[in-house]
Amino acid sequence: MLTIDSKVKELKKNPKAVEIIVKYSPGFATDPQMKLVQGLKLSKLLSFPQAGLSAEQVEALRKELEEANLE
Cα separation of 63 and 68, whole Å? 9
* Structural domain boundaries in the chain: 8-68
In whole angstroms, what separates CA 53 from the centre of its chain?
Answer: 11
Q: Report, as an integer, the average pLDDT of 3-16.
A: 97
Q: Is the dihedral of CA 70, 10, 12, 22 positive or negative?
A: positive
Which residues sit opposite 58 in a β-bridge? none
Residue 28: per-residue pLDDT: 93
The 10s digit of each residue's pLDDT in 19-64 is 999 999 999 999 998 999 999 999 999 999 989 999 999 999 999 9
Cα separation of 23 and 61, whole Å? 9
| pTM, entire model | 0.92
Residue 6: per-residue pLDDT: 97
